[in-house]
Structure 1
Amino acid sequence: MRIAITLLLLVIGTVAFHIWSPWWFTPLASNWHAIDTTVDITIWVTGFVFIAVNLFLAFAIYRYRKRPDQPDRKAAYEPENKKLEGWLTIITAAGVAIMLAPGLLVWSEFVRPPQDAAEFEVLGQQWHWTFRFPGEDGRLGKVATQFISEKNPFGIDPRDEAGLDDILVSDNELHLPEGKPLKALLRSKDVLHNFTVPQFRVKMDLVPGLQSFVWFTPTKPGKYEILCEELCGIAHFAMRGKVIVEPEQAFTQWLAGKPTFAQSQQIAAGDPVKGQAHYATCAACHGPNGEGNPSLKAPRLAGMSEWYLKRQIHYFREGIRGASPEDKLGQQMAPMANTLPDQQAVVDVATYLSALPEFTPLTTIHGDTRRGRHYYVTCGACHGQQGEGNFATNSPRLAGQRDWYLKQQLLNFKAGLRGTHQKDSYGHEMLFMARILTDEQAIDDVLAYINSLDGVHE
C-alpha cells in the first residue's frame, strides 16, 4: 500500500513541478518555433507514458496486494501473451513515430538554409569565440591550419584575394541584424566545441578539420549569451560570448568599425630600436631593463611574449583594463599606455621588451610547493606545465614573473577588479579560474610552486 501511495505522489509531484517549474525555455528569439513544437510533442508523449505506466503500476500493486483473508493467493504465471505484446508493440511504435516524425521534418528544413541567407563564420578555440564576415565581395576567403599564426589567428590564406577584405571580429561579442536569414559556418582550431545560443534554439558541433553550419533568422532585438555545450577542456564552463541582435543599420555601423584581414597585415614588424626609445618613459617604473620595481608595484616586462604585451597595452589604452576605481595601479598605467602615439609604437615596444634578457627575480612569497603543485595542475592546462605560457590558449608566461605581482593580479581577479569588462574575454575566463584558490594560503602555495618553475617547455 505504501509503495502504491508513493507512486501516486510521484506522479502528482512530477506533474505539478512541470506546470509550476521555474526552469523552462528561454523566450524564443528566432524563426525556430518548430523546434519548440517538437519538444512539446516529446514532452506530451513521454509525459503520458510516464503517468500511465506509474498509475497502472500503483493500481496493480494495490489491486493484487497480499490480503490476510487470502493467504494462499498466488500470481498466475503467463510467459507469453501475443495479443498484449501486439498491442504494446503497436502503441510503442506509434508513440515513437509521433515523436520522431516532426523532428525529421524540422531537420529537413534545418539542413537547407535559404538561398538568400547571409554567411558568416564562427571560430571556436580553447576557450573563446571569434568571428569572420565577408567583405564587399560577399565571399569568405579560404582558410587552412598551416596559415594560423600570431599575426594570422584565423588562418586565412594570404594568396586568396577573396579573403583580403574579410572582416575580422577578434573578441567574443557578435552583432547580428534583426529579421535577416543567417548561415553560421562553424570551425574549430583545436578540439570539439559546440555553438549554442539558447534563445535561437539551434546548436551544432564545431569539429576540428571539418566545417559544419547552422542557420537561423534573429527575430527579437536584445543581448543573448553564446555557450559552448560540448565539454572542451578545463575552462569549458568559461567559454562564453555575447550576441547582440539589432537593426541592420546598427549592425552595419558596428561591422564598419572592424578591421579587414588586409588591414590586420599592414602593421609592420616591430622595430626594437624605436621600441627602446618609446620605452624610455616606461623605464621610470618598470626599470631600465624591464626587470620591474617592487617599490613602485611595477611588474617585470622583460622576456614577456610580444603578443601578450601588445594585448595588455591595448587593454589599458581602450579602458578594458584599469577601469575599476579600486584598481589604483591599473588606473596609473592607463594614461601611460596612451603616451604611445599609435599601434605601430605599441608593436615596437612589445618587440623590444620581448627580446630583453631574462633574469631570476627575488622570491618574496613562501608556501607549500607540494600543495601548490596540486593547485597548478589546473593553471598548467593553459599556462604550460613549466609556466612557459601558451599562445594557443592566450595564456601568458608565469615563470620568472614577480611573485608579488602575480598575487596582486589573482586577488584582483577574485575581487572582480580585473576580468569583468565585457570586452576582456580572456580576463573573464581567469575570473572563474582564480576562484578555485579559496584563500590567501592557497594563492601563496601555488605562487611558491610557480617560483620553482623554469619556464622552459619540456
Structure 2
Amino acid sequence: MAVALIMVLVAIGSVVFHWLSPWWWTPIASNWEYIDQTLIITFWITGIAFVAVVGFMAWCIFRYRHRPGQQAHYEPENKRLEVWLTVATALGVAAMLAPGLFVWSQFVSVPDDATEIEVVGKQWQWSYRLPGEDGKLGTSDVRLISDTNPLGLNPDDPNGRDDVVIEAGDLHLPVGRPVKVLLRAIDVLHDFYVPEFRAKMDMIPGSVTYFWFTPTRTGTFESLCAELCGVGHAVMRGRVVVQTEEEYQAWLQGQRTFAQLAAR
C-alpha cells in the first residue's frame, strides 16, 4: 500500500512541479515559436503516458496485493492487449514526430532574402564573419588556417576581401531581418545555441551546417556551446546583440574587414 501511494504522489508531484517549475524556457526572441508549440505537444503526450503508466502500476499494486488464500492467475500472452498497446504507442509516437518534421522542414527552408553570416567554433570561443558591401561571403579552406588567418579565409577570393571578421567578440544583428547562419568547427564538435532564439545546430569539423531565424526584438542574448567540447566547454560563451538597423550599421562601420586584417 505504501508503494502504491508513493507512486501516485510521484505522478501528481511531477505534474505539479511541471506547471509551477521556475526553470521554464526563456521568453522567445525569434520567429521560432513553432519550436515551443512542438515541445508543448510532446509534454502533453509524454505527460499523459507517464501518469497513465504510473497510475496503472499503482492500481495493480493495490488491486492485486497479496491476500491470504488468493492465488495469482498465470497469463503468458494476451494478443488483444498487445495489439492495443502497439496501436496506442504508434499513434503517440506519430503525434510527437509529425509536428517536429513540419518544423524541421521550415527550419532548413531558408528565405531568399536571408543574409548569410558565419559562426566559427574553436576551443573555447566563438568567431564570426559577416558579408561586406558586396553582400557575399568569400570561400574558406581549413588548410589556410594559421595564426594570421584563424578562420581559414581564402585570400584569393575577391568576394571575401570585404568580409567583416570578428574574432572572440560579440555578434551584432539587425532586428527583423532573416539570417542564414552557416556553422563551422575548426577543431572538435561544437553547437551554437541561443536559448531565446530557439535555434541550434551541431558544428562538425570538415562540414558546414546551417539554420535560419529572424530576430524579433532588440536586446543582448547569451550564446552557449551545447555540445561537450572539452574541459573549457562551460566557459565557451558569447553574446548576440540585436539592434535597430541604424544602430547595426553604425556598429558595422567600426569593424575590420579581412583585407584590413591581412594587411596588418
Q: TM-score, normalised by structure 2?
A: 0.98
Letter in 1 for 2:192: F
Q: Say which SS state the counterpart of residue 220 (structure 1) adopts.
A: coil
Matches within 5 A, 1:262-301: 262-267=259-264
Q: Higher strand fraction: Structure 1 or Structure 2?
A: 2
Matched with 1:321 is none
Q: For 2:104, which of 103, 107, 122 is the aligned residue?
A: 107
**TM-superposed deviation, 1:15:** 1.1
Structure 1 moving runs of 4+ over 4 Å: none
Q: Secondary structure of the equivalent of 1:265? A: helix
Q: Which residue is 1:316 aligned to?
A: none
SS in 1 for 2:223: strand
State yes or no: 1:20 paired with 2:20: yes
- Correspondence 1:196 to 2:193: yes
Deviation by residue 1:160-196 (Cα, 9 ceiling, x = unmatched): 1111111111233111111111001001111110000
**Counterpart for residue 2 of structure 2:** 2
Counterpart in the other structure of 1:140: 137
2:62 corresponds to 1:62? yes
User: Is the contact made by 1:193 and 1:232 (CA closer than 8 Å) also made in structure 2?
Assistant: yes
| Residues in 2 aligned to 1:167 and 1:146: alpha-carbon distance in whole angstroms | 20
Aligned: 1:88 with 2:85 = yes
Give distance in 1, aligned partners of 2:228 and 2:150: 23
Q: Is the 8 A contact 1:117 1:180 kept in 2?
A: yes
CA distance in structure 1 between the partners assigned to 2:156 and 2:247 by the alignment: 32
Query: 1:31 maps to which residue?
Result: 31
Counterpart-to-counterpart distance in 1, 2:143 and 2:90: 50
Residue 40 of structure 1 corresponds to: 40
Q: Structure 1, unaligned stretches of length 5 or more?
A: 268-458
Q: TM-score, normalised by structure 1?
A: 0.57
CA deviation string 1:12-38 (max 9, x = no partner): 111111111110101111100111011
CA deviations 1:141-178 (Å, max 9, x no partner) are 11112221222112111111111111111233111111
Distance across 1 between alignment mates of 2:71 and 2:172: 70
Q: Which residue of 1 aligns with 2:70?
A: 73
Amino acid across the alignment from 1:155: G
Identity of aligned residues (%): 55
Partners in 1 of 2:162 and 2:111 — Cα distance? 24
Residue 7 of structure 1 deviates from its aligned partner by 0.6
| Maintained 8 Å contact 1:192/1:205 | yes
Structure having the larger proportion of residues in helix: 1
1:221 aligns with 2:221: no
Supply the AA of the counterpart residue of 2:118. E
1:50 aligns with 2:47: no
Structure 2 unaligned regions, length at least 5 = none
CA apart distance, 1:224: 0.6
Q: Provide the rounded CA distance (Å) in 2 between the counterparts of 1:240 and 1:111.
A: 25
Distance 2:183 2:166 in 1: 15
Q: Is 1:172–1:240's contact at 8 Å kept on the other side of the alignment?
A: no
> Is residue 251 from structure 1 mapped to residue 252 from structure 2 by the alignment?
no
Within the candidate set 157, 161, 184, 2:158 is matched to 161
Instruction: Please tell me the root mean square deviation across aligned C-alpha atoms, in Å.
Output: 0.9
Quote the Cα distance in structure 2 between the aligned partners of 1:44 and 1:149: 50
Instruction: Flag the structure with larger Rg.
Output: 1
Aligned position for 2:236? 239
Equivalent residues, number: 264
